[in-house]
Amino acid sequence: MSNNALPLVSICIPTYNGAAYLAEALQSALAQTYRPLEIVISDDASSDATLEVVASFKSSCDFPIKVLHHHPSGIGANWNHCVQHAQGDYIKFLFQDDVLLPDCINQLMDLIQRDTHIGMVYCKRDFILDVSNKQHLDFVNAYGDLHHNWGVVDVKEGVLPGTNYLKDPQFLNAPKNKIGEPSAILLRKGCFEKVGYFDEQLHQDLDCAYWYRLMPYYKVGFKDAELVQFRLHNQQASVINKAKTIPDRELLYCMYYQKLFWYLHWKCQLKLLKLFHPLVKRLVSLKQWFHAK
């Protein structure tokens, strides 16, 4: 991609106590072959050396770095704070423990600019992990190539209408997130004006909830290449959330019922009706009562 008059991309890095891996993430942003860039860091009152790592990095960076101090109020609020202060036409998330390969933004931008109706592009992920950790290996086995988990949609490199994904009969089946983590995504900034921001009620599934919310309105591009490295470690939010009781599943399915119902496959519609429609719920309860007698 030529560097003449290219649009600005904002690399959004929401941080909280990320000093252990942040320098590596920042170096991967600096190594990007694409320009122009800016980095927007929104920090949730870190108590470690996160801000010191950022300060030491600034002198070696050839593009602007904006550091925002955010009052902790959930990870979704911090993600949204990053986006709201981004000046770019495109948003590229980079989480504090992940790494972008040097050509990541260049390749994703090349794809998204082919059609103004593409709202999001995503790529495959490589993993940084402890190979002696069985949980890490299990995660990669279960969630490695996410795009293979659709039933009817044949995801290949290129662009599809977002509604094709929503209509797939496997939409509600595991894994819930069949697109990927935010570090693997590049978004058109206009999506946030049309669709809104990340749902701050959600703790774990706010990323895939957003990817699916934008699909009725936009095409989605897929790059069949590992352009990011997703780090697995015991302090990442997904591991911490797994040990907690969080209401994400019910909230997520309720969102699907309220906002996506008419785009979904009939099998998924039926499942949501059984969960949320008062009359259908009553009929299901009566059926269970009769079977129990």
pLDDT digits (tens, 9 = 90+) for 60-74: 899 999 999 999 899
> How many C-beta atoms surround the C-beta of residue 184 within 10 A?
25
Residue 172 pLDDT level (bands cut at 50, 70, 90) = very high
Residues composing the chain: 293
CATH 3.90.550.10 in the chain, residue ranges? 9-245
The pair of three-digit structure tokens given for residue 41, joined into one six-digit string = 């860091």
Any idea which residue has 């429609």 for tokens?
277
Q: Hey, is 33 helix, strand or coil?
A: coil
pLDDT per residue as tens digits for the range 95-136: 999 999 999 999 999 999 999 999 999 999 999 998 889 999
Q: Cα angle vertex 134, ends 240, 97, to 5°?
A: 45
Q: Exposed (0-12), middle (13-18) or buried (19+): which is 289, by Cβ within 10 Å?
A: exposed
Distance CA 9, CA 65 (A): 12
Mean pLDDT, rounded, of the chain: 92
How confident is the model at residue 243, as a pLDDT? 53
Residue 238 pLDDT level (bands cut at 50, 70, 90) = low
Give the pTM: 0.91
How confident is the model at residue 59, as a pLDDT? 87
Helices (H), 129-257: 134-143, 162-166, 190-195, 206-214, 237-242, 248-255
Residue 205 pLDDT level (bands cut at 50, 70, 90) = very high
Residue 244 pLDDT level (bands cut at 50, 70, 90) = low
How confident is the model at residue 131, as a pLDDT? 85
- Residues forming beta bridges with residue 22, ordered by sequence position: none
For the residues 257-272, what does the mean pLDDT come to? Answer: 97
Evaluate if residue 2 carries a pLDDT over 70: no
Shortest CA distance to 119 belongs to which of 77, 159, 172? 159
Strands 99-100 and 65-69, bridge-based pairing: unpaired
Q: Does domain 9-245 have CATH number 3.90.550.10?
A: yes
